[in-house]
Amino acid sequence: MNPNFPRLIALLSGPDQKGLVAKVASWIYEREGNIIHADQHRDQEEGVFFQRVEWSFKGNRSAEVEAAAFRDFGDSIGMRTKVAIPGTKPKIALFVSKANHCFHDLVLRWKAGDFPCDISLVISNHETLKSSAEWYGIPFEHVPVTKESKSEAESRQLSLMRSYDIDLVIMARYMQVLSAIFLDTWGKPVINIHHSFLPAFAGAKPYHQAHKKGVKLIGATAHYATAELDQGPIIYQAVTQITHRNSVQDLIRKGRDLEKMTLAQAVSWHLENRILVYENKTVVFD
C-alpha cells in the first residue's frame, strides 16, 4: 500500500472475548485498510485483552474521520479505545528544578529528531535553568513553590499549560510533589523520573537510602505520576551494579546516566503510543 496513505495507531483494552483480533482485522480490511504492525496480550489472571494495531488506509476519508469511526467501533465491541494519528506532534511542558541532566538530555534528543513532539514550555520552581532554556529557544516560566504558596503556584502552572495548549507534562527531576487537585484538574498524562528502582527507596534522597542499606544495585524508574507519591504505573526501569567501595556521590553520578536513559525510553514509548495503563500497571508494546 502507498506509504503516503494516512496511518492510524489504536490502543485497545477490555474484557477478553472470542474473535476480537478477527473483528479488528475485518473492520480495517472492510474500510480498505492494511495492517502494518499488530501486537496483543491477554492478562490470564484478569481476563483482559490488550492490543496495539497500526494501519494505513486509502480512500477520501481524513485520518480524523477514520479515527473517530474506529473509536466508535471499539465502543461497539466493548473495548476502551484510543486512536492516534502519526505525525501529530503533542506539545510538551518540562517541569524542572535545579538538576540539569535530564533536561538537557531530553531537549537534545528532541533537537536531534528523536522525539515526535514539540517541547513548548519549561516550568521551574528555580531560575537555575532559565538561561539554558532560553539558549535552546524554549519559553521559560519561573513559578516559585513554597508550602504556603503551593496552591497558588499550581494554579499558575495550570494556567500556563492551558495557554500553551500542552498535551504532556514531563517531570525532568522536578523536586516538588504535584497535588491530587493539580493532577485531577490537569487530567492529562504526567511522566516522572524517580531516582531509584521502585518500589524500593521511594521519596527523598533515595541514593542516600540505598547507600545506608548497602544494596548492590541502584536503579531509576519512569512512571506516570499519580496523587500517591512515587506509586504511579511504571513505564520503564533500569539498574546498574554498585559495590561497597562506592560512595553516595558515586551512586549519584552513576544514577544520572540511568535517569536520563530511563526517562528518554519512557517518553519515546509514550510518544509512539505503545503504552496501555490498566490497574496501576502498564502494558508496553515495545
**Cell triple for 110:** 528532541
**E strands, 146-269, in order:** 168-171, 190-194, 217-224, 234-241
Are the C-beta atoms of residues 60 and 69 closer than 8 Å to each other? no
What is the percentage of the chain residues whose pLDDT exceeds 90?
81
**Cell triple for 161:** 499549560
Q: How confident is the model at residue 251 (pLDDT cuts 50, 70, 90)?
A: confident
In the block, cell 485483552 appears at 49
Question: What sign results for the dihedral spanned by CA atoms 106, 108, 111, 112?
Answer: negative
The pTM for the full model equals 0.93
Average pLDDT of the residues in 163-192:
97
The residue type found at 14 is G
The answer to which of 102-106, 210-214, 256-260 has the lowest mean pLDDT is 210-214
Catalytic residue annotation: 230
Structural domains in the chain? 7-84 (3.30.70.260), 91-284 (3.40.50.170)
Per-residue model confidence (pLDDT) at position 207: 76
Average pLDDT of the residues in 124-145:
98
Q: Which residues of 24-50 are buried (b: 16+ CB within 10 A; e: fewer)?
A: beebbeebebeeeebebeeeeeeebbb
Are the C-beta atoms of residues 154 and 144 closer than 8 Å to each other? no
The H or E element containing residue 53 is strand 48-57
Per-residue model confidence (pLDDT) at position 111: 98
Q: For residue range 32-83, list pLDDT tens digits in order.
A: 999 999 999 999 999 999 999 999 999 889 999 999 999 999 999 999 999 9
Per-residue model confidence (pLDDT) at position 170: 99
Average pLDDT of the residues in 124-151:
97
The answer to which of 115-124, 225-234, 268-277 has the lowest mean pLDDT is 225-234
Mean pLDDT (the chain) is 94
Q: Which of 237, 252, 124 is nearest to 176 (CA)?
A: 124
Per-residue model confidence (pLDDT) at position 200: 66
d(CA 102, CA 118): 16
Q: For residue range 231-241, list pLDDT tens digits in order.
A: 899 999 999 89
Q: How confident is the model at residue 4 (pLDDT cuts 50, 70, 90)?
A: confident
